[in-house]
Structure 1
Amino acid sequence: MIRFADFMPVPEPSRTKVKFNMRAGVGGSAAWDLLLDDEEGWLDLNRYRDRGPSNTYGDAKYVLSFAQLPSHGPQYFVFGGFYEVTALEPAVFDGTGYALRALPRYAEYTKRLVIRLAKPVGRDVYLRRYESLQDGPLSPEVFELSPHVKLGGFPGYQHVLLPHASLQRIVAYGEPSWREALSSVKGVYVITDIATGKLYVGSASAESDGLWTRWSAYADLRNLTGGNKGFEALRQTFGDDYIVANFQYAILEVFDPKTRAELVIERENFWKDALASRHHGMNHN
């Protein structure tokens, strides 16, 4: 067991806090999603200041920030950065109350280092003082240092909601749990252009590796459209960045790999009608 404090010493322990981010407020985005795909959202989560004395940086000069890692469980957190903290003047509460400056120390561990706490952290103790953390009830230890950015395990077919950038990472690294799950089924999926709200319903009905093969085509860095003519028109007009920033992927139905292609296509057409993706979306047949 490697103690957290031994692995990540800091220059001024008495003026350093450790923040365990879980969600961006009640009903907000998961901290892990913000860390992965929304840099500004992640910073806002850490710049937020509320009125509770235990939920502010106080006299802290530095903060080590972590995001809860849902694929591992409530006691696991992945490193999100080491920052210098400056309180804004005049003081701002219930909003952006701090300026953060990212420091190079431990930058190579960002999105790779996972720590495990002795017990789940509660909302009332999500911000702790570094100097008392190690020997307190949370007693963090180093669980894993991944060779590349952590992607999170497969969450279950009914919970898949992937921004395009995350899909690219999963395919590029061949993340095992995602590859196994998506390769094991045929399915009907929906792509949402979050900039316009338009939908595209598609299916993986014949590929030997099911949804994995189909979605891998969308993640191909040489052609982000998967050969779709409508997507290609968007790419020609707005560029690759538009697709990366605005496309997200979800699964509507899954089928056993032995399911006849005709049945999968029949269900694809059902969803096109149900979601009106031909009349108001991006389907053209």
Structure 2
Amino acid sequence: MLSTHAIYLNDLLGLSNLENVKIKFNQWNTEEDPIDVFQANPELINNQWLFWRNQKRYFNVNDVAINLVRVKGDIYLLTTVKLVTEELGVIHGINYAGKELKRYRPLYGRVLIKYHKDFQASVVNAESKLEKLVVSQVLPDVYKNDGFPGYDSVCLSYQQLKLVLEKNKSEWITALSNQKAVYLIRDVSNGKLYVGSATSKNGMLLDRWRSYISNGHGGNKCLQELIKEAGFEYVKKNFQYSILENYNSRVDDSFILRRESWWKKVFDSRNKKFGYNEN
């Protein structure tokens, strides 16, 4: 009978003394997606992103640093494990030097980890976390970005959507350019929702979302008022974009608009307590 027990990252690494082991979680920053950076330049992720320091000292000499890069959702990729060999005394820069542990080299870029990160810190002690990092998959080769995840799996922050569009990622552009849709914008700071539609009249999904990246409001009255009061930076910090329903270009606009109205009713997004829809 096959075992159903989970395999954890340390089952692969076999680290016995965890007191000097730390884990670095690399996630989106305001400009770059770390998984894109890893694919373009692994050394950048495994040195600059791993060993960058602001005010706080993250590592000490002889620490073991495990570097994880967020792929999507709760999935992370193991990119390197390094022994910290030197502290450089740099603030707001690369503050450490490290030596890659060669015995783990076959695992780098190939082990996908599932872990729900519910804390702000990017570097944590491994003692309380390592045994919770579940091995989701060991890939036959180094990870390659799958591109567009499917319409029902799109959930992007403003910065993530901006990056996708500015980098002109071909799979995303193709998927969004010829689609009509009913989409959802969520304000993560207060839970308020905005339901919108993409049609041949007001712009297909790609055009609509480009307008939000450009000005934050896409021409919508309530969102314009919000930006006037709170500023564009509020949108950049708090807005999240997803797709409720998508349709090909042959579907009549009137049907899309009826579905949009239905979702406004479902979410009660015309109610100023719950949403940003004006009508």
TM-score by length of 1: 0.56
Are 2:153 and 1:159 equivalent residues in the alignment?
Answer: yes
* Partner of residue 177, structure 1: 171
State how 1:218-233 maps to structure 2 within 5 Å.
218-220=212-214, 223-233=215-225
SS in 2 for 1:168: helix
Return the match for 1:116 from 105, 109, 112: 109
1:242 Cα offset (Å): 0.5
Q: Distance in 1 between matches of 2:196 and 2:154?
A: 15
SS in 2 for 1:158: helix
1:104 Cα offset (Å): 5.6
Q: Distance in 2 between matches of 1:240 and 1:103?
A: 31
Q: Is the 8 A contact 1:203 1:265 kept in 2?
A: yes
SS in 1 for 2:189: coil
Q: Distance in 2 between matches of 1:170 and 1:192?
A: 18
Q: Is the 8 A contact 2:157 2:241 kept in 1?
A: yes
Q: Distance in 2 between matches of 1:228 and 1:235?
A: 11
Q: Is the 8 A contact 1:188 1:253 kept in 2?
A: yes
In structure 2, relative to structure 1, the CA distance for the partners of 1:215 and 1:82 (3 Å cut) is farther
Are 2:186 and 1:192 equivalent residues in the alignment?
Answer: yes
Return the match for 1:103 from 73, 94, 119: 94
SS in 2 for 1:249: strand
* Partner of residue 66, structure 1: 68
SS in 1 for 2:171: helix
Q: Distance in 2 between matches of 1:197 and 1:121?
A: 29
The one-letter code of the counterpart of 1:268 is: E
* Partner of residue 240, structure 2: 248
Q: Give the number of equivalent residue pairs.
A: 203
1:229 Cα offset (Å): 2.1
Let me know the Cα RMSD of the aligned residues.
4.7
The one-letter code of the counterpart of 1:201 is: V
1:59 Cα offset (Å): 7.6
In structure 2, relative to structure 1, the CA distance for the partners of 1:269 and 1:143 (3 Å cut) is closer
Q: Is the 8 A contact 2:22 2:63 kept in 1?
A: no
Q: Distance in 2 between matches of 1:122 and 1:249?
A: 23
1:277 Cα offset (Å): 0.7
1:176 Cα offset (Å): 1.5
1:216 Cα offset (Å): 0.7
Q: Deviations over 1:170-217 (max 9, x none)?
A: 111111221111123210011111122111110001169721111011
In structure 2, relative to structure 1, the CA distance for the partners of 1:19 and 1:207 (3 Å cut) is farther
Percent identity of paired positions between Structure 1 and Structure 2: 29
1:157 Cα offset (Å): 1.1
Q: Is the 8 A contact 2:68 2:77 kept in 1?
A: no
The gaps in structure 2 that reach 5 residues or longer are 1-19, 35-49, 51-58, 98-107, 116-125, 131-137
TM-score by length of 2: 0.57
Q: Distance in 2 between matches of 1:261 and 1:122?
A: 40
State how 1:1-285 maps to structure 2 within 5 Å.
19=23, 35-37=27-29, 60-61=62-63, 63=65, 65-70=67-72, 76-77=77-78, 103=94, 116-117=109-110, 153-206=147-200, 210-220=204-214, 223-280=215-272, 281-285=275-279
1:160 Cα offset (Å): 1.2
SS in 1 for 2:197: strand
